[in-house]
Amino acid sequence: MLVWPLSAQIFNVEKIRLDHPENKVIFGNIGTNFAYHNRTVNLQTPTRVFTGGLTGDVGYFSDDHLYMLISNYQLLFVNDNKVVNFGSTHARTQFFHKNTVSPEIYGQYQYDEARGLQLRLLAGAGPRWRILKTDALNLAVGTGAMFESEDWRDPVRTNQPMIYARYLKSSTYFGTRYHIKDNVDLNAVIYYQVGYDRDYDQTLHRVSGDLNLAFAVFEKLSFTTAFNAAWESRPIVPIIPFIFSVTNGIRFKF
């Protein structure tokens, strides 16, 4: 079963750090998919479907710092209707990554036209605390402040004016990786962000979670299952506040 990747408000950046060992200088994975088919019940109701996507994450461990670049772009056309048009690129640097407590900075570019998000830009910084690190189990928590700039358009009433949202928020995450067996890994991440909307006199809450299970077939090839979910207390435009996805696939690591 394949459901389109979650276009969550928070892009999962912790998974790549949990999913790759620190003894590799350069690491990452990349994947792409394209499909087009013309399947229809009859000549009067043709159905044409095009799907395409590009995902990838690349990291570099220097002696002191960790640099990451993570991207996910997806597109789905049904006839001439653009059902999914989602993309995001996230860059992050963790300074002195071998320390128990280390600072990190990040920036992100994102859009999700089907849900009304025309543009999101954000930047943030804060400390990360490595609670536990063993061969079998990793635990870490990070917190900090970020500034978020969003441009929204109502996805149904498209003639409505754009909504421009600018927020200063706190962002906290908890991540873990558990090496169950030699060929089985589980990692999970939960994010929580909160900010204050002065125009509506409301506190905005955002929760996102990501659970990944990988079964290694060969040294670099694995079957993967992922569950993603995100919830917002008050979306900027009238869209579903809770979204989720379940994805099965294969992964090649280098």
- The CATH number of whichever domain residue 73 belongs to comes to 2.40.160.40
Residue 5 covered by a domain:
no
How many domains, in total, are found in the chain?
1
Average pLDDT on 83-110 reads 91
Average pLDDT on 29-55 reads 74
Residue 168 covered by a domain:
yes
Strands 221-232 and 202-216: antiparallel
d(CA 206, CA 147) in angstroms, rounded, equals 14
Residue 6 covered by a domain:
no
Residue 2 covered by a domain:
no
d(CA 64, CA 76) in angstroms, rounded, equals 41
Residue 9 covered by a domain:
no
Residue 24 covered by a domain:
yes
Residue 111 covered by a domain:
yes
Residue 1 covered by a domain:
no
Closest CA to 236 of 147, 134, 161: 161
* Residues spanned by the domain of 198: 14-252
Least confident of 56-60, 75-79, 227-231: 75-79
Q: Note the pLDDT of residue 42.
A: 66
pLDDT 10s digits, 128-181: 999 988 888 889 999 999 999 999 999 888 788 999 989 999 999 998 888 888
Average pLDDT on 86-92 reads 90
Q: Which two tokens stand for residue 65?
A: 């710092």
Confidence class for position 9, pLDDT limits 50, 70, 90? very low
> How far is C-alpha 53 from the chain's CA centre?
14
Closest CA to 64 of 99, 96, 94: 96
Q: Note the pLDDT of residue 128.
A: 94
pLDDT 10s digits, 45-60: 777 787 888 888 888 8
